[in-house]
Structure 1
Amino acid sequence: MHPILKPALRRGWRDLNTVQFGVAPAHAVVLGPVDTATGTFLTLLDGTRGVALLRDEGRRMGLPDGHVDALLHRLTRAGLLDDATGGGPAFDLLRKRQGVLDRLRPDLAALTVLSPEPAAGARKLAARRSMRIQVRGTGRVGTVIASVLSAAGVGHVDVRDGGCVEPWDVAPGGLPVESVGERRDTAAYRAVRKAAPDRPPRPDRRSGPPPSQAQPQSPSESQALPPAEEPALSLVIIAPRDGLSAHTPDPHAAEELITSGTPHLYAGVVEATGVVGPLVLPGGTACASCLSLDRTDRDPTWPRLLAQWRSGRQLQVPACDLALATAVAGLTAAHALAFLDGELPSSTGARWEASAPGLDWHARPVWAHPDCSCGAGGRSKGEQTSEGGEQHDTMTG
């Protein structure tokens, strides 16, 4: 291990004996009192020295025996210490791809802030490369989500949709204007690949051509591969171009996800309201059917209204404010990445909504319905909450 104070946390001395790491209260830590010798020693924690060499440096500075180890332990416990050489074999491969790693350095820095253990951020970033996400919908919301996830290091991002790109599908970070008229899935696939910092290793097709001769696969071609050759789906994001299908999702459309136990997250814009969530963990949290049953319980006329809204062909271009769609895409990608990195975002069993022009984001719980066949109805409401808080620690120098 080569200890390094997490560079992403800005450091400042509150007084001669107290140092603060971090600006925002959510992740800031204050350490003190810190004596002069210990404060000087902190400058040596730059990732260039192993623990044995740091002990030698401490003795040369006159620090008592055991002080360096105790200090490293306290800094680790406070979530302030990283390992400049950690991350495991998968991250070692990234280190060899300097250009790729440079693209991902801001994401790595953020993960070090969010991950208290040394090298945990590096391991999470490397793990993203082997994950597979599917985004259903390639409009102003869906394609931006897919591109952001790809740019953030998720190695396999599939996109699904039908039809051809319309002028109103174009969005910054999503489908470019030159894609108008092309197949939506093909154009979105190209946008995702363009955003990726690296192309992950292709599946091992022993009966096919060697990797050096392999051509880029289109979404339809990749779906035709045997399942064993593709990573399992870690998450499906349902971001339909029809905002009604995001606000009031069709339970039948997600039946295979419930049956297979695949986590899925809803997102979209209906009229002037953005929606993110719920994140459905099949059998654990409320699903689209739970949402439908609950709404019908509260409003018996809801199925009649929904049938009218869903019937016939949409003749008008749906309202989808570009700024609101971009905000929804960003928040959805952030929740998806949190889930992929091992956390439960606040959209788990809940739905975030914001309506223009105020754009005041608020969460609405989505409870599992006792009559739903998804199996989540047996869980208590308290089991669908997440926790968060600030970190505090005190160190004696």
Structure 2
Amino acid sequence: MHPMVKPALRRGWRDLNTVQFGMTPAHALTLGPVDTATGSFLDLLDGTRGLALLREEGRRMDLPDGHVDRLVERLARAGLLDDARGGGPEAADLRERKEVLDRLRPDLAALSLLTSEPGDAIEHLTVRRRLRVQVRGAGRVGAVLAALLSGAGVGEVDVRDGGRVEPGDIAPGGLPAEAVGERRDESARRAVRRAAPGPAPRRGPGPPAEADTPGFSLVIIAPRDDVSVHAPDPSAAEPLIVSGTPHLYAGVVEGTGVVGPLVLPGETGCAGCLHQERTDRDPAWPRLVAQWHSGRRRAARACDVTLATTVAGLAAAHALIFLDGRTPSSAGARWEVSVPTLQWHARPVWPHSACPCGAAEKGKQEHISEDRGTHATMAVQHSQEFCRTTDAARLAGTWRAHV
């Protein structure tokens, strides 16, 4: 192990005996009491020395025997240490690709804030490079979103869309102006390749994919059609529900941006649940949706470029949280923001008993198990907690199978 105080956390002395690591309340930690010699020794924890050399440095600084090991253990237990050579063989290979790692160092530093064990951050980064994600939609939201995921180190980002690029599809970070007239999917894939920090690791031979199994860790549905953003078609996601593929919705409708729900098939509310719940509240809902879909085509749909970019960024962040093994707050909820107030609101998407996705039925079974004194968690509790927690302990075991 080559211990390194996480470089993402700025360090400062609160007083003569207390060190604060980090600035923001979300990640700041204090450590004390710390004497002057130990404070000086912290500067040596920069990843260039192994434990044996650090012990020698400690003796040279007249630190007591065992003090270095206790300090390293204490810092590691607090989640303040990384390992400059940790993460396994794939991490070692990534470190040798200096031009790739240099592009990803800010992402690696950010990942270190979300991991506790030394070496975990770069291991998460190597996992990202093995993942396959599909983005359905190459408009102002989808193309930017796909490029962001590629730039964050996701190894394969496939973009699907039809037609040719129109001037209104152009957005900074997405499709360039010179792409007008080109096929949307091809242009978006070029944007993805431009954003990538480097080539993804080669895939080894694996079993052939089944016809109904997309083989993606996550599918992101980012339609250019504003009606499909506001009222996602349940039938379009049926193959994803059947294959158990997690999928996330994102887009802009009129002056409102939407991120979510992240659908974990059989666990959380889906597009069908959303449709059923809206119909329960408003019997005219199906009639309105049919009229919106059959209405006359407009010359341009409202899609403010800054709002679209904001939605793409937040959706990409939610996607990465999920791909890194946690559960974002969009699981079982739609995050919505409207101009001009720009205040985000979470609207739960509850599993509906009339929806064939099975999430409501699973919730009933877990509720019965809870009543019998088991440790199962109710699906309704999941839907509530998804809006305020990132604890993915139970779901991670299920959904990492798609990685």
- TM-score (normalizing by structure 2): 0.88
Q: Does 1:45 align with 2:45?
A: yes
Query: What does 1:225-304 correspond to in 2, within 5 Å?
Result: 227=209, 232-304=215-287
Partner of 2:89: 89
Report the alpha carbon displacement of residue 231 of structure 1 after superposing the two structures with TM. 9.5
Hey, what does 2:126 align to over in structure 1?
Answer: 126
**Counterpart-to-counterpart distance in 2, 1:96 and 1:363:** 42
Deviation at 1:57, TM superposition (A): 2.2
Percent of pairs identical after alignment?
A: 68
| 1:347 corresponds to | 330
Indicate if the aligned counterparts of 1:133 and 1:158 stay in contact, CA closer than 8 A.
yes
Asked whether the equivalents of residues 138 and 161 of structure 1 are also in contact (C-alpha less than 8 Å), the reply is: yes
* 1:52-87 superposed Cα distances (whole Å, 9 cap, x missing partner): 222222233232232222211111111100001112
AA aligned to 2:142 is: G
Q: State the shift of 1:37 in Å.
A: 2.0
What is the Cα deviation at residue 88 of structure 1? 1.2
SS in structure 2 of the partner of residue 241 of structure 1: coil
The equivalences for 1:101-112 within 5 A come to: 101-112=101-112
Aligned residue type for 1:320: C
Gaps of 5+ in 1: 207-225, 390-397
- 2:224 is paired with a residue whose SS is coil
CA distance in 2, matches of 1:388, 1:76: 24
- Give the aligned residue type for 1:116: S
Q: Which moved more, 1:326-335 or 1:40-49?
A: 40-49
The equivalences for 1:1-397 within 5 A come to 1-203=1-203, 227=209, 232-377=215-360, 378-379=362-363, 380-384=379-383, 385-386=385-386, 387-388=388-389
Q: Deviations over 1:292-346 (max 9, x none)?
A: 0001111111111111111145233110011000000000000001111111011
**Secondary structure class of the residue paired with 1:7:** coil
- Given the superposition, is the C-alpha separation of residues 32 and 285 from structure 1 closer, same or farther in structure 2, using an over 3 Å criterion? same
The more displaced of 297-306 and 312-321 is 312-321
Write out per-residue CA displacement over residues 118-158 of structure 1, whole angstroms, 9 at most, x where no aligned residue: 11110011111110000000000000000000011111000
Stretch moving more, 86-95 or 276-285:
86-95
SS in 1 for 2:186: helix
**3-state SS in 1 of match to 2:140:** coil
Compute the displacement of 1:94 (Å): 1.2
- Structure 2: give runs of 5+ residues left out of the alignment: 364-378, 391-403
Q: 1:97, CA displacement in angstroms?
A: 1.1
Counterpart-to-counterpart distance in 2, 1:112 and 1:205: 31
1:202 Cα shift? 4.8
SS in 1 for 2:113: helix
SS in 2 for 1:107: helix
User: Post-superposition shift, 1:351?
Assistant: 0.8
Q: Is the 8 A contact 1:141 1:268 kept in 2?
A: yes
Residues 237, 376 of structure 1: CA spacing in aligned structure 2 closer, same or farther, 3 A cutoff? same
Q: Normalising by the residue count of structure 1, what TM-score does the alignment of the two structures yield? A: 0.90
Counterpart of 1:269 in 2: which secondary structure?
A: strand
Q: What is the letter of the counterpart of residue 93 of structure 2?
A: L
Distance 2:191 2:229 in 1: 23
Contact 2:22/2:29 (8 A) holds in 1: yes
Looking at both structures, which has the greater relative contact order when contacts are Cα pairs under 8 Å and sequence separation is at least 6? Answer: 1
Secondary structure of 1:171's partner? coil
The answer to whether the 8 A contact 1:41-1:58 is kept is: yes
CA distance in 2 between counterparts of 1:247 and 1:75 reads: 47
CA distance in 2, matches of 1:47, 1:231: 41
Q: 1:203 to 1:67 in 2, by over 3 A?
A: closer
Contact 1:131 1:231 in 2 (8 A): no
Q: For 2:299, give the aligned amino acid.
A: Q
- Counterparts of 1:268 and 1:130 in 2: how far apart (Å)? 26
Structure 2: how far apart are the matches of 1:62 and 1:203? 51
Aligned mates of 1:35, 1:231 — CA distance in 2 = 57
TM-superposed deviation, 1:362: 1.2
Contact kept? 2:327, 2:389, Cα under 8 Å: no
What secondary structure does 1:43 align onto? helix
CA contact (8 A) 2:82 2:119 kept: yes
Give 2:372's aligned residue: none
- 1:209 equivalent in structure 2: none
CA gap of 1:59–1:201, structure 2 versus 1, over 3 A, is: closer
Given that 1:130 and 1:231 are in contact with CA atoms closer than 8 Å, whether structure 2 keeps it comes out as no
Alpha-carbon contact 2:138-2:224 (below 8 Å) kept: yes
